[in-house]
Amino acid sequence: MAKMLLSLLQKTIRKTADTPPVIDIEPGSPEWEAICRRCGECCFELVYDEDDTLVSSSMCEFLDPQTRQCTVYETRFEVCHDCIRLTGENLPRFDWLPQTCGYVVRFGLEGRRKVK
């Protein structure tokens, strides 16, 4: 009986880990935009250091260093070729987003690679 319960538990854990997150908000909608904390953490180039950890490097030229706000937010995808549009599809794959990112928290994507 205990063995059966253990097997059931293992199956449940495996299923939970494999289950993709439910992202049921339309990207670009006001509700989606409201999830962003405007922290600017994703506006830095990331590189791997000698410990294979992602570390922040240079800042996007359009990020205001004082306010940490994007200076071209409304037209960011047109003026900045490195700016990436977050979608329900790519979000789960973006393990470089900080743990504190509003989207990571909102959709339960924590526990990924930690950025220094």
Which residues here bind ligand SF4, judged by CB under 6 A? Answer: 36-43, 60, 62-63, 70, 72, 76, 80, 83, 97-98, 101-103
Beta carbon of residue 90, minimum distance to ligand SF4 (angstroms, whole number) = 12
Nearer to ligand SF4, 8 or 84 (CB): 84
Distance CA 53, CA 44 (A): 15
Backbone angles phi, psi at 61, to 5 degrees: -65, -20
Beta carbon of residue 16, minimum distance to ligand SF4 (angstroms, whole number) = 24
Nearer to ligand SF4, 51 or 78 (CB): 78
Beta carbon of residue 31, minimum distance to ligand SF4 (angstroms, whole number) = 14
